[in-house]
Chain A
Amino acid sequence: MSETATPSKTEKKRAINRLKSMYPLRNVVQQDYIDTLKASNEGKPTVWSMLNYWEGDLPLKAMGLNIVYPENYATLLAASGAAEPFLDASDSDGFPTHMCGYGRSTIGYSYRMMKENGGKIPPDAPLGGMAKPALLLGSGIICDARFKWFQSLARYFDAPEWCLEMPMMATYEGSEPDLEAYQVKFLVKELKDFIAFLEKLFKQKMDWAKLEELTDLAVKIHETTYKISELRQSIPGPMHATDFWSSMPPSLFFAGDMKVSLKCYQDMLAEVQERVNNKVSGINYPERYRLIFAELPPWHSLKFFDSLAEMGWNFVFESFGYHAPKPPDLSKYSDPCEKLARLSRNFMFNVFPEAKADNIQNPIVETYLKIARGFKADGFFMHPLISCRAASCSLRTVQHWEQEKLDVPSLWVEGDIIDKRVFNPQEVLARAEAFEQTMDHYRKVRKSRGLDW
């Protein structure tokens, strides 16, 4: 995410064969920050939002509100090497150091803005920074930090806060078919309350037709990105993980103009299809090993993947939590809130029926078993994070079951999303060389078991 320029022809061969269609998508999010700041300077409100798997994004966009995502902004801080002063500021204000790196960055940013700069954006903030929030939109989806860290921002801002709800139960109890209506009913009630609150706060009415239009666009975007994901199962892998991470914001939280984004993703689909047809790889070296990255990347060290690409390691899939699943059929529902509730809920519950069939309790394990089979993975790059419970807590069980059920081994590399001080690329590269022997060994084991890769 730190790169901003299209490569010139005179440059040395790049290790990763970047998709041309990635660059416009990456620019969408960067432009979005610039546009939002400009709007703020013109007196328009800015909403700070957590990733909310679309149930909050679309109502805000339908009302024409400008949104920034501190969680995403933290990745920019890390990728541009600017995170440290913000982490230090959070520490100095008394927040424990083991907490979410995104959260600590945002807290540090807010501290420096409000306590050190008299409400002005810190001068070293990349892309001009984020304007003061008129609303803090927390979310209970995925992890506790998503609502606790926004709650703690009240010490810097008087902005009102809302916490979005989502049933968190991709397990037996939550996935029985007769529970779906009950969960949707809960979400619809919450969404109606939320929209009423937005109308009161911003003194404008919801544009329901616009909300429906954007929901339909969201479905189209996700249908397209899902097709791209499916194509990535090809050998050689046509799209490297770094291209996914650079291009995901317009589908993960609908940064920018969604019509433009849809066109960009359609271009990406066409480019990936062309690569598949012509057996073009996502790396500029022979694909020796097909790796899956789990779960959140070291944003501060994405260049590190170049070294692995030079070794023939193609990261063919990554970060399931950033991928929208195949969208549900919403055509039979007329209430825009119900459509939205079902779109969002689908992220949490789409996988469990398969997990149940596979006799696995943890849906994340099942997701990664499916990915390993579909992508014919040689190995997993497990990246447990010192500062993220949600993305780390299941990795040991994923590792265990991948090995147990599929004989796919894992390289275990502790690190962090933001704090580069806990990541040692040289040491990891040394371990990676040794891990190749492990992957070679388990290729033979899988073949002897009758598996086809």
Chain B
Amino acid sequence: MVTATTKGLSRAHEIYADRGKRVRELRKAGKKIIGYICLYPPIEIITAMGMVPFRIFGDMSEPITVADKVSTTVVCPFLRSIIDLGIKGKFDFLDGAVGAHTCDIGMTTIIAWRDYIKDAPFTHLIDVPHTDHAPAVDYFEGQINFFKQHIEELAGEKLSGDKLKKACELHNKQRKLVRDLYDLRKSDPPRLNSMENLEVMVSLFSLPVEEGNELLEAVIREVKERSIKPAKKKARLLVWGPVFDNTSLYELVESTGADVVVDDTCVGTRAFWADVKAPYDLHALAQRYLVDIKCPRTYRDTQHQETERSYDKDLDSRFSYIKKAVTDWHVNGVVLQSVKYCDTHGYEVPNLRHYLDTLGIPSIYIEHDYSERSLAPIKTRVEAFVETLG
């Protein structure tokens, strides 16, 4: 099935450089390519219907020039970039686009897509509740069901339980392989740098799941066979925040004398840490996407129905998975990064920094506008931060 001549990290680099190349080939061969925005559309359903899920990203190197007629400047620049690229025809290989109410602007992006981007005639918007309350999970299962019905219409066939189970298993396999790959960055120095890692992650969002799994297996083999370079750096960092789909930030951070060894972003661990659990039905999908993905867009109510609330308990319930990552990857500093105007992450910043303080882990918060140009002024701050960790 894979026609590529390159393998492993070279293949990932190739796909990263031209994300649409492989899906264009597949489309030519008769496959339907379904774009999706953010982490919440259940891609297992797309795979199970014999289509290819393709995660829609922006482009930090492309100036936003035409999105202004659709979108104000005071909203997420990543999502503005998507609209800009869409209007310019850069997603002309998609047969459809699926969005979700992951945040206010995420929702309006898919609405704007319908009015302004005509290349993908099939669109669907999934409502995602704000909480993980039990009625919200049931409601979300209903939303997934409506999406399933809609995509069945597009496919002209019904989705069988067996096909959904197989798709869940394939995506779970991919998640397991990603976790294995991340394990290779626990060593000091890590066997894989963060730029290489991001190229692999972005590739996974650009390929059918089977090809992604083949790629991962090849990358893991290649990385395991590498000899570890002896040069240790002064800092082992975790990078936190919303979408970051470009290696430039990692290049900037690593150029200051640090290794980024793990992340909590939606192009990294956040997308791959939680599996769909048996029996692989729609309720299991609802549970995985609404409850198990750890994105600040969901109000995870671990003290639900409790009449007394503890701030420390609240922080621990929201962020203890970061504590685990800090321990497992031997992290000694955290870079909190966010695109400007991201409310769901912005409100999180002081509380997460407080939590990290209690763990004795220094942190820094940086904000950018999703353009390569906006990163340059950040470098001095990151350098100073890394210096303090040495």
Contacts and interface: CB of A to CB of B under 8 A. Distances in A.
Interface residues of A, number: 62
- Do most interface residues of chain B lie in helix, strand or loop, or is the interface mixed? mixed
Contacts of A14: none
Interface stretch (A279-287, A330-338, A389-397, A442-450): A389-397
Contacts of B338: 96
A438 to B, nearest CB: 17
B301 interface: yes
B376 interface: no
Interface stretch (A5-13, A156-164, A208-216, A259-267): A156-164
Interface string B55-82: 0000000000000111111111000000
B142 interface: yes
Contacts of A434: none
Contacts of A329: none
B80 to A, nearest CB: 10
Contacts of A154: 309, 311, 314, 351
Contacts of B347: 95, 99, 103, 145, 148-149, 151-152
B353 A94 contact: yes
Contacts of A179: 146
B130 interface: yes
B303 A155 contact: no
Contacts of A387: 74
Chain B interface size, as a band, is 35 or more
Contact of B341 (A98, A169, A361, A397): A98
B73 to A, nearest CB: 8
A362 B124 contact: no
Contacts of B74: 98, 384-389, 392, 414
Interface stretch (B22-30, B40-48, B111-119, B197-205): B111-119
Nearest to A201: B307
A147 B115 contact: no
B69 A396 contact: yes
Contacts of B138: 186, 189
A270 interface: no
Interface stretch (B102-110, B161-169, B171-179): B102-110
A169 B125 contact: yes
A169 B350 contact: no
20 contacts: A94-B353, A96-B367, A98-B74, A143-B104, A148-B296, A149-B347, A151-B347, A155-B350, A158-B311, A159-B309, A160-B308, A163-B299, A163-B301, A165-B133, A169-B125, A173-B125, A190-B133, A361-B114, A396-B70, A397-B70
Interface of B: 68-76, 101, 103-105, 107-108, 111-112, 114-115, 124-127, 129-131, 133, 135-136, 138-139, 142, 146, 150, 296-297, 299, 301, 303, 305-311, 314, 338, 340-341, 343-344, 346-351, 353-354, 365, 367
* Those 9 A-B pairs whose CB atoms lie nearest each other, nearest first: A140-B130, A94-B350, A189-B135, A148-B347, A186-B139, A169-B127, A361-B114, A96-B346, A160-B309
Given A152-B348, A389-B74, 4 more contacts: A95-B349, A103-B347, A392-B75, A393-B71
